[in-house]
Amino acid sequence: MKKTLIPVFLVVAFLMGFAAARMNEGISIATIENAGRLIGLEFKQEQQEMMKSGLESYRDDYQSIREHTPDNAVIPAFLFDPLFGEMPEKEPVKPVHWEIPMDVALPENPDELAFFSIPELASLLRQGKITSEELTVFFLNRLKKYGDTLECVISLTESRALEMARKADREIAAGNYRGPLHGIPYGAKDLFAVEGYKTTWGAIPYNDQMIDETAHVVRQLDEAGAVLVAKLTLGSLAMGDIWFGGTTRNPWNLEQGSSGSSAGSGAAVAAGLVPFALGTETLGSIVSPSTRCGVTGLRPTFGKVGRSGAMALSWTMDKIGPMARSAMETAMVLDAINGKDPHDPYYRESGLKAPAGINPEELRVGYLHELFDWEDENRIHEVQVLNDLREMGINPEKVEWTFEVPANALSLILMAEAAAAFDELTVSGKDSMLVAQTENSWPNFFRTARFIPAVEYINANRIRTLLIHEVNSLLKDYDVLVTPSFGGNQLLVTNLTGHPCLVAPAGFNEEGAPVSISFIGNLHREGELVALAQAWQDFSGHHLLRPPFFATD
């Protein structure tokens, strides 16, 4: 018998027509009943009958909306502000005077520069003992030498960097010194747009993406005279340490990922490939890689740093912050990027109180005692931080970290917003292009989040309002709260409420892995966090340790 071949286009046309017909079918009572079970609600049959035409109309609206999916940069027509008109006493909006030592000498071994602090490098530049161009070439060479080992670099910005470095040298030589970051190289997570370079978001669907603008924070650092040398890796669409080119490695253990999603930023700073880097956090993406890589990270108050030109994951939870070796260095970077962003309506103007002018012994310090009571391999190091503070003349008080509202349930806010931010991937099927395809990866989270009802999303945000008031009430008697970085729900809670957090290395566990401690502060009061954390770092010295494979001889 002769086979009949049906043209492929006819098959496709049939399937598309079939799908359209299914979409235009009336919604059955059984479908409504099953959908109700899915979201935990039951309706009587007569109620279901009345719902049919309305649900069919909604379905048509959904399809119209999907046909006009906005660009990732388009924000929703609502704003989130954790202050609710209750702005605490503002830290002064005026320049901070940063002390730069003027007696720093060039090391006999030039490789030692890889682990010099920002003030030390700034001293060398101001004294004319090294040029920004020389320093930039030095760090570019480190990135070229170790970038593949760590799988932490997506793009070198070499031509831009050398141009900026030469400009910095001319300005410094002419006495036009812009501040401690002038001429200092740095790296940025590759979700920040930089004109002329790809902005991949760490994901295959975007690995050739060119965005014709430069992110606000990069422009702020340009103004400060800093030199961008590399766009660093992030887990695909800001989750984890797996990106389209591999897995970013932990400099302390190359068999292990660096955690994420600011994976490349943490790894590059820890390995001495850059003096500092920009990261972002929505739910642990600065805290987690800072912990894993043994660096210091500062997650500022929500709205303190403008986000235009940065990939959006959650419009009401995304925050941009620096990762460096010490608390004071993160504050120097925060001071530079804390400038008005006319294109980010979530931005709130607030200054930075000079940490050097704050006496740590006068700060009101509490600690989340129930989290220190958990038995795990890190507990001895976390408790030692409290002992260190007492030895420094600071007596932390016990604080109860309990809330009347169901805080853990509010994680659906992030999932709903992330699914909306990347809905085009789900609708088009391009989510299958992402490397991670597990139950706990974005494609599944995006699909699952489509079943979060709008009413629940709005009510979760109403409960979030109550949670913010509870945290503000708890913090009103304290300047800083000390807590293990993980355990309990403090990481989720403070990311939801927008409170700032500084995470710092606190030694190593029995397996040789870095351990961290976190300092939580009041909204827009990062100065106190930095003052306490830096005083403790000066006392403990944990932040000065280097991963052996990348340390100099």
Q: Which amino acid is at 9?
A: F
Confidence at 19, pLDDT banded by 50, 70, 90: very low
Helix (H) or strand (E) holding 444: helix 442-449
Summarised one tens digit per residue, pLDDT across range 41-63 is 898 999 999 889 989 998 998 89
Q: Which residue in this structure is represented by tokens 């932040």?
A: 543
For residue 453, what are the CA distances in angstroms to 30, 59, 175, 500?
Answer: 19, 14, 60, 30
C-alpha angle 502-506-512 in degrees, rounded to nearest 5: 130
In the chain, the domains with their CATH numbers are 110-404+458-544 (3.90.1300.10)
- Beta-bridge partners for 198: 210
Section 110-130 average pLDDT: 98
- Tell me the C-alpha distance between 348 and 334, whole Å: 14
The reported pTM is: 0.92
Q: Which amino acid is at 220?
A: Q
Share of the chain above pLDDT 70, in %: 94
| Under 8 Å between Cβ of 320 and 290 | no
Q: Going along 166-250, which residue ranges are E strands? A: 185-189, 227-232, 242-243, 246-247, 249-250
Confidence at 66, pLDDT banded by 50, 70, 90: confident
End-to-end CA distance of the chain: 79
Confidence at 493, pLDDT banded by 50, 70, 90: very high
| Under 8 Å between Cβ of 531 and 365 | no
17 or 121: which carries more pLDDT confidence? 121
Counts for the chain of helices (H) and strands (E), in that order: 18, 15
